[in-house]
């Protein structure tokens, strides 16, 4: 199965962007995922290629027209799950990422200016998803982030199958933050001459002890940094 993403945008050249590099870039070449960036402006019919207009009721900025976006949307044979990236949406969390990554086809609508006409979202059943409580200049970077989070979960995309299960926010670790990692050298002397040793337990070879230490670290870190996501 190929994970396919249609993107409705005024800036198709923003894709695949960073997703053309590294593991997601390889996965794109291998056909683990594919995308089609559709330029909404190609569906205008006036000489100025107008996609937006002033808001009814007044106010700042411009609003993207529903008729133009609809033409772009209807050019997609199988849109699958339709998502509008918006700071008003449901916040993207790892369980939703897992759900989206298991979906065959997504269509992501990227807004610019003040946003898109509400009637388009209502008429075509777009769900709204936000990547966080801050406002970007457009939906494209949000779409890239959401795509990245999904693509790395696709079968065969990450080298080590276990890696995706033991990380921060994944339900497999109870949604806790991930424990700290260490590698060689065992004793590292920093530029100021201070020596930093790797915690002894990690070099003990006692796997039960190591697992407990990691779980304790995860809990302590989560309690300190993100008490809001601790369940008990």
Q: Supply the minimum distance, in Å, between the C-beta of residue 14 and ligand ADE.
A: 13
Among 1, 135, 191, 208, binds ligand ADE (CB under 6 A): 135
| Nearer to ligand ADE among residue 83 and residue 177 (C-beta) | 83
Among 7, 97, 100, 131, binds ligand ADE (CB under 6 A): 131
Residues 79 and 107 sit within 8 Å (Cβ to Cβ): yes
If binding is defined by CB under 6 A, does position 20 make contact with ligand ADE?
no
If binding is defined by CB under 6 A, does position 28 make contact with ligand ADE?
no
Task: Count the Cβ atoms, other than its own, within 10 Å of residue 112.
Answer: 19
Task: Count the Cβ atoms, other than its own, within 10 Å of residue 139.
Answer: 28
If binding is defined by CB under 6 A, does position 107 make contact with ligand ADE?
no
Q: Supply the minimum distance, in Å, between the C-beta of residue 134 and ligand ADE.
A: 6
Q: Label the pairing between strands 63-64 and 52-53.
A: antiparallel
| Nearer to ligand ADE among residue 114 and residue 167 (C-beta) | 114
Among 47, 58, 134, 181, binds ligand ADE (CB under 6 A): 134
Among 12, 16, 66, 139, binds ligand ADE (CB under 6 A): 139
Q: Supply the minimum distance, in Å, between the C-beta of residue 172 and ligand ADE.
A: 26
- Chain positions 73 to 102 lying near ligand ADE, rule: CB under 6 A, are 85-87
- Looking up tokens 């670290």 gives 217
If binding is defined by CB under 6 A, does position 191 make contact with ligand ADE?
no
**Under the rule (CB under 6 A), what is the footprint of ligand ADE?**
85-87, 130-132, 134-136, 139, 142
């Amino acid at each position: 199965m190929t994970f396919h993403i249609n993107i409705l945008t005024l800036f198709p050249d923003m894709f695949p962007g960073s997703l053309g590099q590294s593991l997601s870039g390889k996965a794109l070449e291998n056909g683990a995922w594919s995308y089609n960036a559709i330029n909404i402006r190609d569906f205008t019919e006036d000489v100025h290629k107008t996609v937006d207009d002033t808001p009814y009721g007044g106010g700042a900025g411009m609003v993207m027209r529903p008729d133009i976006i609809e033409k772009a949307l209807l050019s997609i044979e199988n849109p699958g799950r339709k998502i509008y990236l918006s700071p008003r949406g449901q916040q993207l969390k790892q369980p939703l990422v897992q759900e989206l990554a298991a979906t065959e086809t997504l269509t992501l609508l990227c807004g610019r200016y003040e946003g898109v006409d509400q009637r388009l979202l209502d008429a075509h059943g777009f769900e709204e998803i936000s990547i966080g409580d801050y406002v970007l200049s457009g939906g494209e970077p949000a779409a890239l982030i959401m795509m990245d989070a999904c693509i790395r979960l696709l079968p065969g995309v990450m080298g080590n199958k276990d890696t995706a299960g033991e990380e921060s926010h994944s339900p497999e670790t109870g949604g806790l933050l991930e424990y700290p990692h260490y590698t060689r050298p065992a004793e590292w002397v920093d530029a100021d001459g201070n020596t930093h040793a790797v915690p002894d337990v990690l070099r003990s070879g006692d796997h039960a002890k190591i697992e407990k230490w990691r779980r304790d670290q995860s809990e302590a870190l989560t309690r300190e940094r993100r008490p809001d996501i601790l369940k008990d």
